[in-house]
Amino acid sequence: DAKYIPAGPSGVITRGRDDILPTGRNFYSLDPRRVPTKAAFRVGQMLADSVIKKHQQEEGRYPENVAMFWMCNDIMWADGEGMSQIFFLLGVRPVWLSDGRVKGIEVIPLEELGRPRIDVTIRVSGITRDNFPGCIELVDEAIHTVASLDEPEEMNFVRKHALAKMKSDIDSDNEDDCWRKSTLRIFASKPGTYQPGVNLAVYASAWKDEKDLSDIFVYWNSYAYGKGVFGIESPKQLISSLGTVDVTFNKVVSDEHDLFGCCCYFGTHGGMTAAARQIGGKEVKTYYGDTREPEKVQVRDLADEIRRVVRTKLLNPKWVEGMKRHGYKGAGDISKRVGRVYGWESTTREVDDWIFDDITRTFVMDKENREFFKQNNPWALEEIGRRLLEAESRGLWNADPEVLQELKEMYLEMEGWLEENMGEVKGDFQGGSVDVMAPEDVGIWNNMMQEFKAKLK
């Protein structure tokens, strides 16, 4: 009718957000001053309690430091459940005004909390960093407040680690500056950039071992953020925090998205896990939260979450047929997801061998599916085959011998398809080769990493 249509709010309808209907309007996100909501804080409490309880059952002690990947979907879709989890791990809670806006935070007394305050190491996404600075500042304020409490170190791991960092900081004569550095817990990539780095290295085969991935993670993600701090290069502080990590954590909010939906998941959560293991010199638990049903919060092992998503989507015949309806794009998206399975195994070693076996059987060995790729996007299937062979050659996949043999034979056939279509090629050509490189193999890259490591001395 050519009438003005007022803008409407955005959100996830499965979170009870019926105010997002009807669709078709220009939408706005939310008021960040209302994050977290009271409902989200209750979910965050359950997440924090579940993480602590699970670690206690497995290790017989409290986790001292939980490293989290804080994504913008936590704020935009879940009203700050993860933010609330951070607060409750620290032992603080939001203070709300009567209109729902968050006024600030208050400390929960140890007598009421009934456990130690758990330290956190947070890698925020670039979108969270750029769109919700107020939320980041509030979390930073909570961390600084808890670190400043006059409490026994065995009941306040934030303070324990902050004091240890102060003792080891020999670069600063200014006590206030030293204390501020010791309480930095929120990190991301350099201002203006949006990648964790590790995903790019994995895709480019630009790593030889876990130490390479750890170095890349620290190099890319050592910029601190918080109140009065925006993108300050702080590699020593990140390394110190990662060295005390017991658990790395992320969560799923909706079935619309999962940990294979973007390379940033394994690049950040996986990269953070590899770095924490390498720097701390010990095994690190990898947990995945599930708030798809907020009243039934779950925390499971990352390996279980990988199995769940592989079964329900990637290897689900109905999902595969649905993707095939999209032809070239569907084939490409299947290939991307297989690449992300490989990325999770590269960074965390949490992918079962049977998953790679069944991926091979489903997409390479199955005649009908192989023909689909050949007709619609042979390059996607070549990428799948090449990643599988790389996983096996790196020792990431202990393949079924028969499956591996057929994969190798089918890969030669795939190369034949591509060579027929390409014709004569001049100049450098990768083909099916996988050239594994590390910083020492590339002059400019090596110099860059050496300069960075010099700052750590």
Would you state the pLDDT for residue 310? Answer: 98
Is 432's pLDDT higher than 80?
Answer: no
- Rounded-to-integer distance, Cα 110 and Cα 444, Å: 52
Q: Where are the domains of the chain?
A: 1-30, 32-302, 315-422
**The two structure tokens encoding residue 415:** 């190369």
- Model pLDDT for residues 124-140, shown as the tens digit of each residue: 999 999 999 999 999 99
Q: Say how many C-beta atoms besides its own lie within 10 A of residue 351's C-beta.
A: 23
Nearest by Cα to 277 from 314, 245, 231, 238:
245
Q: At what angle do helices 401-422 and 378-393 cross, to 10 degrees?
A: 140
Mean pLDDT (whole number) for 304-316: 98
Q: Is 223 helix (H, G, I), strand (E, B) or coil?
A: strand
287: left (phi > 0), else alpha (psi -120 to 50), else beta? beta
Nearest by Cα to 102 from 187, 40, 12, 146:
40
- pLDDT grade, residue 28 (50/70/90)? confident
41: exposed, middle or buried (C-beta count within 10 Å: 0-12, 13-18, 19+)?
buried
Is 217's pLDDT higher than 70?
Answer: yes
**The two structure tokens encoding residue 111:** 């007598």
Helix (H) or strand (E) holding 92: strand 92-96
- Rounded-to-integer distance, Cα 363 and Cα 411, Å: 12
Q: Name, in order, each residue with C-beta under 8 angstroms of 393's C-beta and a sequence gap of 6 or more.
A: 434
Helix (H) or strand (E) holding 285: strand 285-290
**The two structure tokens encoding residue 430:** 């990768």
**The two structure tokens encoding residue 127:** 């979108």
Would you state the pLDDT for residue 171? Answer: 62
> What is the pLDDT of the chain when averaged over all its residues?
94
Phi, psi (deg, nearest 5) at residue 456: -85, -10
* 87 close to 122: Cβ distance less than 8 angstroms: no
- pLDDT grade, residue 3 (50/70/90)? confident
Mean pLDDT (whole number) for 439-455: 90
- What's the pTM? 0.93
What are the respective helix, strand and coil percentages of the chain, to the nearest 5?
55, 10, 30
Would you state the pLDDT for residue 16? Answer: 67
Bond from prior residue into 36 cis (ω within 30 degrees of 0): yes
* 90 close to 117: Cβ distance less than 8 angstroms: yes
Phi, psi (deg, nearest 5) at residue 447: -60, -40
Alpha carbon 384 to chain centroid, angstroms? 22
- Model pLDDT for residues 343-380, shown as the tens digit of each residue: 999 999 999 999 999 999 999 999 999 999 999 999 99
- Model pLDDT for residues 409-425, shown as the tens digit of each residue: 999 999 888 888 777 77
